[in-house]
Amino acid sequence: MFEIDKYMSVEFYKELLNDFKFDDLYIELSQKSDKELQDILSQLACDPITDECNLLVYTFLCFLIAKGETSNLQLLTSTIMATSLNLIDKSEKIALYHGLRALEMDPDDINIMEYLLYFNHMPSRLLDNSLAIDFAKRILKENPNSMAARITLPPNLD
C-alpha cells in the first residue's frame, strides 16, 4: 500500500513539475525531509520504469536556489546532476559546478570535500589533481579514516 501511495504522490509532483507550477511544487515539497526531497526529485529526474530523464528537475532546483541559496540545495543539485541526470551531456560538469558552489558556501565541510573527490576519480578527472590533493589533506586532518581521501593522495603524500 505504501508504494502505491508513494507512486501516486510522485505522479502528482510530476504533473506540477511538467506544468511549470514550481510555486505549488515548492509548497508541497517544503513539507518533506531532505532525504524525501532527494528521493522524490531523483524519481522525477529519471523515471525508474522508463529511464526517461526530465531536465525540468534541474530547472526546478535552480528555481529553489534562486528562492534561497544554501549549501544543501547546491549539493542536492550536484547530486541529482551526477546521478539521476548523468546521461545528459555535460551533466557531470554541471554537478561539479554545484558541488564547488556548495563548498564555497560552507568551506569547512569535509563531507562536501569528500563528495567532490568523486570528480577526481572519474575517468574524465573533472576535479583538478592539486585541488583534490588539497581536499584530501584537509579531510584526513579531521577524519584520518577517510578512504576517499586516502586513495586520492599519491603514496608519498599520505
The answer to whether residues 57 and 38 touch, using CB atoms and an 8 Å cutoff, is: no
Last residue of a domain, one of 80, 98, 116: 98
Asked, for residue 103, whether it belongs to a domain, the answer is no
Q: Does residue 132 surpass a pLDDT of 80? A: yes
pLDDT of residue 62: 98
121: domain range? 108-158
Model confidence band, residue 4 (pLDDT cutoffs 50, 70, 90): very low
In this structure, are 79 and 50 located in the same domain? yes
Q: Does residue 151 surpass a pLDDT of 50? A: yes
Q: Over the stretch 49-76, which tens digit does the pLDDT of each residue have? A: 888 899 999 999 999 999 999 999 999 9
Q: Does residue 5 surpass a pLDDT of 90? A: no
The answer to whether residues 121 and 152 touch, using CB atoms and an 8 Å cutoff, is: yes
In this structure, are 49 and 119 located in the same domain? no
Model confidence band, residue 78 (pLDDT cutoffs 50, 70, 90): very high
Model confidence band, residue 7 (pLDDT cutoffs 50, 70, 90): very low
Last residue of a domain, one of 46, 71, 98: 98
Of 131, 127, 136, which is closest to residue 157 (Cα–Cα)? 136
Asked, for residue 38, whether it belongs to a domain, the answer is yes
Asked, for residue 56, whether it belongs to a domain, the answer is yes
Cell of 88: 545528459
Number of domains in the chain: 2
In this structure, are 63 and 138 located in the same domain? no
Q: Does residue 19 surpass a pLDDT of 60? A: yes
What crossing angle do the helices spanning 34-45 and 2-18 adopt, rounded to 10°? 70
